[in-house]
Structure 1
């Protein structure tokens, strides 16, 4: 198999950078993109705020304690999506093989690029230059022979950096890395690996495939491949939506019986969003987060998919009845979702009469 040329583009502190670009008074100041409130979380933080320890997904009240002088800006996703689309338009000048991961990052397969540039590094350098000149935003880029390595590379010289991992460099680059840099190695897997004496990717290599498969099943083989820089996953453009969901965090914790109005409102949002997809969602999902931050999910796949917003809400409410917790338990968040999308059976039916 010939080597791919993959570029991973990651916009730097994207939401906060858009705010600083559009309001010059914010430049050089610690900016936190978040709604104010006890239950709000940080959507993004400028690098000035990150120096104080502020991070995405952190509670906004904690961010305020870490950085009392931060400027809090409520998120404006309309502007962020517009900036993301303009960046995507720049990517399309170079390749049609684009796999967005979110509004602020994407994989590009530039094994064959549309602009005739001789190397993937030149493509990445050109894209970063165009983003700066046209959007007045910075982006970091990683270049490597596969997606896994390209994503690691893009983080190597953030912000506003470019890093290249050549195929011949993999054997010296990977072994010293902390094993937590591998995708799929979170706190739980990391702790199990630590008990096996594994702290670096090099340590992981020493365990061998048989030991890893015994300890972690199929995921163990994936870890073994990643430890050797192997990732065959292609860049998939226009990946179909896997799920549609909406959730809400309450100002005060609610009892389960008090969540019905929220569930109905979220069902209305999800149903409206699902109408834009020609496929049919078969599975309804209810998500709950307790006051103690435990997450519960319940799902149901009926014989026939929900045919209306009211039916979706009714199924979501029935899932709520399957939560067997003490009636005094309180919840801080609820979410409703649709998943398991299939091609519409109606459109697939043959025409019998005209």
Structure 2
């Protein structure tokens, strides 16, 4: 076997090991977080029941969405960064070292619940994780659309408060907890900033770039934020946290670009969300940006983009044009560029061999090349 073939075989073995490590860790994290979420929410539901039926309905809706099959990728990234920066990193997923970070892992999942509740209401999405969105649940529970929508917004706010409370239960030193709280606040600031920027992109003549929006709205709470939380809770210094930011930003953007692709070309039974909603809602995704330019595309988009009543035949025409114009291929290529950049940053980080490092390596494929 030539040196080149040996190197390739080693690279493939390492990639396979990393994917297995991520998958195994994700499953362990999922079990731990699901169990802890249920235990953590139980007394909150009891307290809500003692106030009013409306408060209980909101708390139950939070619990229902939180426990309805989330992937727990964000929690797994907290675990990976914590392990990678821990004084005693582990080498086996069965011997996880992230117990001190478990409350933060619960917190990031509750933060996502808050964001999903608001996002689904703003986008008028009726389905989330294969079931009804929270505003749909509360409309039915309260028997009124306006009251249900108002209760959903407040349920999101309540989930945000729950998330902050959970984070503050991490059994670490006060200085680490303070830095974690600051990182958690930064996640929320970035997400809301990105959401507002996305809204302006629909109307502005010169909108913010798609990747800037993705870095704020998605990368912040999907990758860079969880990594920062895990790192600071383990005692990493600012330079190491900044490295995780350089690793996480391109991966987070790739994650959202993949989400944009799945929103048009994905399998709804796998994603748990209906396809084509981005087109109906008028979102200026990377696919739409790549499609613009030709007279044919502009005329078609003028009729279809943002038109909830557009006939399926017209939307199908937009989807076909995304294929034939090369827009889909260009977005796919950009995803690979971003994943390559992420791998280069990880290679330069000089992390000690550990389970956390392998999980981070596996996360690159899991987040950027997923089918759901």
Q: Which has the higher contact order (CA 8 A, sep 6+)?
A: 2
More helix by proportion, 1 or 2?
A: 2
More strand by proportion, 1 or 2?
A: 1
TM-score, normalization: structure 2?
0.23
